[in-house]
Amino acid sequence: MYLRSMETFNRRKIINDPVFGFIKIPFDIVFDLIEHPLFQRMRRIKQLGTTSFVYPGANHTRFQHALGAMHLMGNAIDTIRGKGHEISHEEAEAVTIAILLHDIGHGPFSHTLEKTIIQDVNHERISLMMMELLNREFSGKLTLAIKIFRDEYPKRFLHQLVSGQLDMDRLDYLRRDSFFTGVTEGTIGSDRIIKMLEVVDDRLVIEEKGIYSIEKFLVARRLMYWQVYLHKGVLAGDQLLIKMLQRARDLMASGKQLNAAPALEYFLGEEGREMNGNDTDNFILRFAELDDTDIISSAKIWSRNADVILRYLSKGFLDRRLFRIEISEEPFSKERIEEEKKKVSVKMSVSEPLTDYLVVTDTISNHAYSTIDDNINILGKDGVVKDIYEVSGILNVSVLSKKIDKYYLCFPKKI
Amino acid sequence: MYLRSMETFNRRKIINDPVFGFIKIPFDIVFDLIEHPLFQRMRRIKQLGTTSFVYPGANHTRFQHALGAMHLMGNAIDTIRGKGHEISHEEAEAVTIAILLHDIGHGPFSHTLEKTIIQDVNHERISLMMMELLNREFSGKLTLAIKIFRDEYPKRFLHQLVSGQLDMDRLDYLRRDSFFTGVTEGTIGSDRIIKMLEVVDDRLVIEEKGIYSIEKFLVARRLMYWQVYLHKGVLAGDQLLIKMLQRARDLMASGKQLNAAPALEYFLGEEGREMNGNDTDNFILRFAELDDTDIISSAKIWSRNADVILRYLSKGFLDRRLFRIEISEEPFSKERIEEEKKKVSVKMSVSEPLTDYLVVTDTISNHAYSTIDDNINILGKDGVVKDIYEVSGILNVSVLSKKIDKYYLCFPKKI
Amino acid sequence: MYLRSMETFNRRKIINDPVFGFIKIPFDIVFDLIEHPLFQRMRRIKQLGTTSFVYPGANHTRFQHALGAMHLMGNAIDTIRGKGHEISHEEAEAVTIAILLHDIGHGPFSHTLEKTIIQDVNHERISLMMMELLNREFSGKLTLAIKIFRDEYPKRFLHQLVSGQLDMDRLDYLRRDSFFTGVTEGTIGSDRIIKMLEVVDDRLVIEEKGIYSIEKFLVARRLMYWQVYLHKGVLAGDQLLIKMLQRARDLMASGKQLNAAPALEYFLGEEGREMNGNDTDNFILRFAELDDTDIISSAKIWSRNADVILRYLSKGFLDRRLFRIEISEEPFSKERIEEEKKKVSVKMSVSEPLTDYLVVTDTISNHAYSTIDDNINILGKDGVVKDIYEVSGILNVSVLSKKIDKYYLCFPKKI
Amino acid sequence: MYLRSMETFNRRKIINDPVFGFIKIPFDIVFDLIEHPLFQRMRRIKQLGTTSFVYPGANHTRFQHALGAMHLMGNAIDTIRGKGHEISHEEAEAVTIAILLHDIGHGPFSHTLEKTIIQDVNHERISLMMMELLNREFSGKLTLAIKIFRDEYPKRFLHQLVSGQLDMDRLDYLRRDSFFTGVTEGTIGSDRIIKMLEVVDDRLVIEEKGIYSIEKFLVARRLMYWQVYLHKGVLAGDQLLIKMLQRARDLMASGKQLNAAPALEYFLGEEGREMNGNDTDNFILRFAELDDTDIISSAKIWSRNADVILRYLSKGFLDRRLFRIEISEEPFSKERIEEEKKKVSVKMSVSEPLTDYLVVTDTISNHAYSTIDDNINILGKDGVVKDIYEVSGILNVSVLSKKIDKYYLCFPKKI
């Protein structure tokens, strides 16, 4: 159904993508998966959550990202095959499905709310559960895709194309996020990186002449982290959202009657907090009803609530009255935090315990290149495989692989 | 506040825009208007409504468009001043405000719902009412902007920059819509068109050497109309949405209890149907609470409703199960329509009168260049001003200025 | 050899192209042809001759254009095959060779000097002679390519891909010239046009939904004609060049000793004027020694010549002291021309007959879409093939197919 | 004259640039300098010499680069003024002239031939001499520009804008070379870097939030070095050119009669070898007659010479039969070199001493960021200025500031 009313109707299915131009749908089952409501739901989940507070162009969705990553996978398959490594039709289809669905488990405002709405389940696990659900619906046709996704398939490079230091997920999102935020400096040479892919002992490596592209990829990624993903305004927006949901949940827990979008209501209540081990399907189906609009429409309801805290946070979220934020290399002192809380308590006439919702301190950390993850391996002309840092020399691996911790303090700007 | 947490904090306010790069905020009052909740609301209204059903990249908002048009206005002011025409500081500020706010009156899924939610008021009128409301809040500082917007200011070219054949609104939206849909062929040379602007007798004209740019502009606009704005999939998506809201309203009118997003509920009920002449401020404030999320979250609620029609339409809207659509140069015969209705009646077990919600026929029409609107005037090297069609010759004005009517018929695809 | 030292050495041959990204060399023989000195010579012939006088970026060469057109041919072959039409490996190779070599017969400053250096032979004929020469060198492997080039092959659409209203030549040069001149408005949607290609009765047609792309193509081409190819500065530069060579030739004919670049010297003399029917190979080999540098280095020699006319023209060409040019819809009157000649005669102290080199009148004409050429045919959804003008309606075929004549007069600016 | 026949004739002077769009000419004297033959000559000198052997798009000229750098200078002046630092009209004009002319002293195939054609004078010195010559012609109006160029002006940041770690020269050439080679990964965020410029104690610094842009700049520069400027094919092409000229000079020195382009002939002879201290003006004027075409047209003459070495090198240069090149971290052993020479001696029937022209070993070295040059200083939010390496941490300064030496060996590919 889906694409038939697009560009080309029955014969050929092509999607216009501002980043990559024309994207072809390579397999029939991929077309059917895209049409599925679980996949269509991703149209209503922004890739970058609150980032559009800072970069107004960042309204692209997980739906677009999934299609983009699928497109790059096609190129990667062509390149690897072209270098003489076999990838069967089944494997190609499976690895394409795996990348298409890798993010299907994301909830609204993804990373921001991952720890708020459901507390014990990360999105990878939910993605997997959704794939299994789809697998039943598609009579087992996703079995190989799931195997690859779980890294249980011998040709491990297929898993690495889905999840690894240079997977199609990253190659797409870095380029796409750079494109839509307008932070053009963060763009990466996904085309060239893919052309440099090779396979040695069933693992992905990069041809030696690609090292400068990799260096640039690492530096561009770092730039995107600090300039976009961990931008002060984004952090401040995230905290507003997190605290708003906490306040709503706490009010409900304390017995207050509180309207919300129905899909969200369930997750704010007692039973929605944890995934019930006995009935994961019910959990998944309820979770699948959630998207960004539930958060926003709930905020709209709450912005008229009697509770001053909930009202303040909801209106701030809707009107983009972000917290003021300070960042520091050192943790903020208790005194400083207390001081801010007192100010807030006085100015907003709320009791001091309630200022926990308004004065927030937290840490951010970033590994631009984690040595714990699998490495980026470079294939030398002599056939020897080495880590990028050994080969490159220019990048300070000790810095890059070190966890950088920064501290921040958020509080109301003008009250 | 808004942009201070962006790029540059206090001193300089710059916004990243994927289309134009860095956008500067040129006046303090513009900054304050952008921060206003009425303006921030536009973050939640997509520029192209249901178009993302067909072009998944089309998630850009009216907020982005307003900033883009403001940016182009700055360039137009510079060009016109550079050619020796005076534009005072006050006029520059006013015309900038006018373009910034020209679309502020748009409701959710703008054009689609303009005739559904409120029936007698178009968005220009609401924009004007909102400007007047803001003018009171800003102690009369928008008076000149409103005068220009209403075309009551002697330097009429200022109004034409806001609303005319080559206004900054069109220059931005054609370029922006082309950018985000990925229909790169629709892009226009906004830079060069602006450089060709001149003023004769207080009216905008284009320097003669710009005629090829204008020809290209007209053809690109036509391409965007047929390939994007009037795309079959977009029309089919729009009808789904329109019919869903009609069904909801009719159910409510017939006394059925129906939940919806609170902001929408008002407009579905009796009193929201027409703007109450006596209390326009109340109307405006209620209208200003509406945005795209209200439609979507209502659809989510309705997708579980007992009414089969409402459920069908809502689920179709959420899961992108669009109507099948046929387009014809001739009106569809009564027989054909009845035939489709009968099929639907049988397959979906609904009474024939109810099939009015499911089998829809309507017309589309497009003037690519309407001779009723003000013309595009070309300033010859001899100083004589002529209409583009006289000068160009290549474009068939009789075709372009003729209203083209096409007919379409929508009905459920597979039932 | 050539590309082996590029990106990828032996295994895979890829060329970086600023317009299309990575270009692959699809066949071994294509690689060998690219390496041939006759092809390498095109590195020294600019695509747009004197256009860089006006657009300083227009330094791209026929070498680049030939590779770009070859790249598009690959896409066209894929599209046509994908729609179920057979193109055998041999045919694909041959049509690729034909497009690669279609311009190989261009001399220095191509179109400008086509009628000056050799008088009776156009570049298509020389291209063909060079292909035949190469065919002997490559043991007959170019026979099919030549057949297609000469339109003597039954699948006539293959010839149309090389030479027709929508051939790969045009699709590349319009896009490439737009790119390098920086006249971004002239860009065309070559990707989409190629995707719309179909074959009916062995002839190329365009699918109906591509009509807006074709309209845009025609208007963009028109824009490029008037804004680039027939730009006043380009015409003025061309006349400088033409007159310089005429003066040099006339001086030589009158017995004056005149140095020039050796390759050019031959063509300025008696025997080089016409192609000797008996020894075309000698002619071709001599012609193949000519490139842009011969013209420029001769101008450098002549800029110190005793002859005031030759010196004036040569220095003007080197230092970009172009003629002043006036354009008119009417022919310039004899009186006007005489008047300019008299002025020049006095100011430069040259006898009146010599002012023929300095005061030049000529015409320009352009058919944006010639009905004499083969048409652009549109394949309707009903299977009927019609000309674009019947289908589109918007474009004024009577204007577009009419030969537009303009007159211009060139003379020294300040003397 | 120059631009009047372009886009806009008298009133406004605008140049189309594929990289930056429209470039304005900001001062009248700049317009006159651009029209000067010394500046127009740069149209005939490619920015990247033999690089187009490897990247066919790299045909852009020093003329384009000079205009681009001038354009960026305008932006830098605006930014610095906007941050409250005074730059007078005279200073703005002077620093613009200085950047416009900074490369005017480049000879044909710039860097490649710098040490071949003239041996003791680098291009900066010749640029300065040409500026002084122009200064006399322009009645002293370039005096301040020359002062800034020589770093003799108190506001030293003006010199740094012309020549320093982040001067407009580099910002333009890195971006432009990346654009025309098609090595898109090498692109830098010149816009954002310029927006981050600040001045402290009359020296340029970068605002702290610009560090990621600087990191990216450094890595992109490194990528351009290894992927473009020191690409194997480029080195091999350069050696061909160098050896060809050496052979020609040596033949002339040994008394052989040898034609060449007249402008080059002088520099190949005895007197042209060194700049005569007593008559620098004569030297400069002769040097100013040289451009790329003299090298190419001489090669064309020599490709028919009786000398086998000269013929081999010239034909190789024209037909792109590059040397085979090997690169090594270690110097090549005498044995290896002798072995290659012997092979060449046998195969080409030349005496062993002559193989010095055909078997070449040399070193390449690159400091991506030299600590000897002035540093890139970062202005912290606390007002303290630090070097980028202290602040960034990610980049390995010890690696980057270390001179990397590589060795290469060139010899004929197939003989």
Residue-wise DSSP of B271-326 = TTSS--TT-HHHHHHHHTT--HHHHHHHHHHHTT-S-HHHHHHHHHHHHT-PPEEE
Res A273 pLDDT > 70? no
Please state which CATH number belongs to domain C3-101+142-230: 1.10.3210.10
- What is the Cα–Cα distance from B279 to A116, expressed in whole angstroms? 42
pLDDT category of residue A274 using cuts at 50, 70 and 90: low
Q: Do C5 and D54 lie within an 8 Å CB cutoff?
A: yes
Q: What is the dihedral of CA D56, C177, C218, C197, to 10 degrees?
A: 10
Q: Do D22 and B191 lie within an 8 Å CB cutoff?
A: yes
Q: Do D294 and C297 lie within an 8 Å CB cutoff?
A: yes
Whole-Å CA distances, D67 to A395, B247, D217:
34, 63, 21
Contact A395, D394 (CB under 8 A): yes
Contacts of C325 in chain D (CB under 8 A): 5
Res B11 pLDDT > 50? no
pLDDT in tens, C14-65: 999 999 999 999 999 999 999 999 999 999 999 999 999 999 999 999 999 9
Q: What is the dihedral of CA D282, D284, D286, D289, to 10 degrees?
A: -150
Mean pLDDT of A312-322: 97
Determine the residue of chain B that is closest to D79 in CA distance: B12
Could you name the CATH architecture of D323-415? Answer: 2-Layer Sandwich (3.30)
The CATH number for D2-230, chosen from 3.30.1330.10, 3.40.109.10, 2.10.50.10, 1.10.3210.10, is: 1.10.3210.10
Name the neighbours of A, counting chains with at least 3 Cβ pairs within 8 A.
Answer: B, C, D
- Given CB atoms, is C37 within the 8 Å cutoff of chain D? yes
- Given CB atoms, is C263 within the 8 Å cutoff of chain B? no
User: What secondary structure does DSSP assign to C308-367, as a single string?
Assistant: HHHHHHHHHHHHT-PPEEEEESSPPPHHHHHHHHHHHHHHHT--GGGGGGTSEEEEEEE-
Name the DSSP letter for residue C86: -
Reported for B73-76, long-range contacts at CB under 8 A and 24+ positions apart, including other chains, are B73/B99, B73/B161, B73/B168, B74/B24, B74/B26, B75/B191, B75/B194, B76/B161, B76/B168, B76/B194, B76/B197
- Given CB atoms, is D14 within the 8 Å cutoff of chain B? yes
Contacts of A82 in chain C (CB under 8 A): 12
Determine the residue of chain D that is closest to B11 in CA distance: D83
Closest in A2, A40, A233 to B6, CB measured: A233
pLDDT in tens, A167-189: 999 999 999 999 999 999 888 89
- Given CB atoms, is D24 within the 8 Å cutoff of chain B? no
Count Cβ neighbours within 10 Å for each residue of A303-341 and write b for 16 or more, e otherwise.
bebebebbbbbbbbbbbbbbbbbeeeeeeeeeeebeebb
Specify the pLDDT at position B415. 60
Among residues D102, D123, D159, D231, which one is catalytic? D123
How many degrees, rounded to 5, is the angle at CA B369 between CA B363 and CA B375? 140
Res C226 pLDDT > 60? yes
* Helix%, strand%, coil% for chain C, nearest 5: 55, 10, 35
Catalytic residue annotation of B: 123
Whole-Å CA distances, D233 to C1, C39, D59:
11, 19, 16
Q: Do D216 and A189 lie within an 8 Å CB cutoff?
A: no
pLDDT category of residue B74 using cuts at 50, 70 and 90: very high
Closest in B189, B393, B394 to C185, CB measured: B189
Mean pLDDT of chain C: 89
Res B276 pLDDT > 80? no
Contacts of B396 in chain C (CB under 8 A): 393-396
Determine which of B2, B7, B16, B71 to mutate to test the interface with A (most A C-beta atoms within 10 Å): B16
- Given CB atoms, is D160 within the 8 Å cutoff of chain A? no
Among residues C106, C123, C159, C231, which one is catalytic? C123
- What is the Cα–Cα distance from A284 to A342, expressed in whole angstroms? 43
pTM over 0.90: yes
Specify the pLDDT at position D239. 95
Closest in A7, A11, A21 to C191, CB measured: A21
Specify the pLDDT at position B370. 54
What residues have CB less than 8 Å from B196, skipping those under 6 apart? B206, B207, B209, B210, B213
Specify the pLDDT at position A415. 60
Q: What is the dihedral of CA D149, D152, D158, D161, to 10 degrees?
A: 40
Q: Which two tokens stand for residue A297?
A: 């429409």
Q: Do B213 and C396 lie within an 8 Å CB cutoff?
A: no
pLDDT category of residue C7 using cuts at 50, 70 and 90: very low
Q: Which two tokens stand for residue D13?
A: 């002077």
pLDDT in tens, C378-405: 999 889 999 887 887 666 666 666 667 8
The domain made up of C232-326 has a fold known as: Growth Hormone; Chain: A; (1.20.1250)
- What is the Cα–Cα distance from C16 to C301, expressed in whole angstroms? 36
pLDDT category of residue A250 using cuts at 50, 70 and 90: very high
- Given CB atoms, is D21 within the 8 Å cutoff of chain B? yes
Specify the pLDDT at position A5. 35
Domain range annotation of chain D: 2-230, 234-321, 323-415
User: What secondary structure does DSSP assign to D34-95, as a single string?
Assistant: HHSHHHHGGGGSBTTGGGGGTSTT---BHHHHHHHHHHHHHHHHHHHHHTT----HHHHHHH
Closest in C182, C236, C294 to D17, CB measured: C182
Residue identified by tokens 């390995």 is: D396
- Assembly ipTM: 0.93
User: What secondary structure does DSSP assign to C383-408, as a single string?
Assistant: S-EEEHHHHH-SB-HHHHTSPEEEEE
Determine the residue of chain B that is closest to A67 in CA distance: B56
Specify the pLDDT at position B4. 31
The domain made up of D234-321 has a fold known as: Growth Hormone; Chain: A; (1.20.1250)
Contacts of C219 in chain B (CB under 8 A): 212, 215-216, 219, 394
Percent of chain B with pLDDT over 90: 73
The domain made up of A325-415 has a fold known as: Alpha-Beta Plaits (3.30.70)
Of B303-317, B391-405, D228-242, the poorest mean pLDDT is in: B391-405
pLDDT in tens, B318-365: 999 999 999 998 999 999 999 999 999 999 999 999 999 999 999 987
- What is the Cα–Cα distance from B293 to B312, expressed in whole angstroms? 19
Closest in A6, A52, A297 to B54, CB measured: A6
CATH superfamily for B2-101+142-230 is Hypothetical protein af1432 (1.10.3210.10)
Contacts of D22 in chain B (CB under 8 A): 191, 195
- Given CB atoms, is B9 within the 8 Å cutoff of chain C? no
Determine whether A106 is an active site residue.
no
Q: Are strands A360-366 and B404-411 parallel, antiparallel or unpaired?
A: unpaired
Which residue ranges of chain D lie beneath pLDDT 50?
Answer: 1-11, 371-372
Min Cα–Cα distance to chain A from B73, Å: 19
Determine which of C209, C211, C219, C325 to mutate to test the interface with B (most B C-beta atoms within 10 Å): C219
pLDDT in tens, B226-263: 899 999 999 999 999 999 999 999 999 999 989 999 99
Specify the pLDDT at position C34. 97
Contact B368, C394 (CB under 8 A): yes
Reported for D139-148, long-range contacts at CB under 8 A and 24+ positions apart, including other chains, are D141/D29, D142/D94, D142/D97, D142/D101, D144/D90, D144/D91, D144/D93, D144/D94, D145/D93, D145/D94, D145/D95, D145/D97, D145/D98, D145/D101, D146/D98, D147/D94, D148/D91, D148/D94, D148/D95, D148/D98
Contacts of D83 in chain B (CB under 8 A): 11
With H, G, I as helix, E, B as strand and everything else as coil, classify residue D336: helix
Burial class (CB within 10 angstroms; exposed 0-12, middle 13-18, buried 19+) of A413: middle
Mean pLDDT of C244-254: 94
Mean pLDDT of C290-302: 96
The CATH number for C327-415, chosen from 3.30.70, 3.30.160, 2.30.29, 2.60.40, is: 3.30.70
Contact B361, C358 (CB under 8 A): no
Mean pLDDT of chain A: 89
Res A319 pLDDT > 70? yes
Looking at domain B232-365, its CATH class is mainly alpha
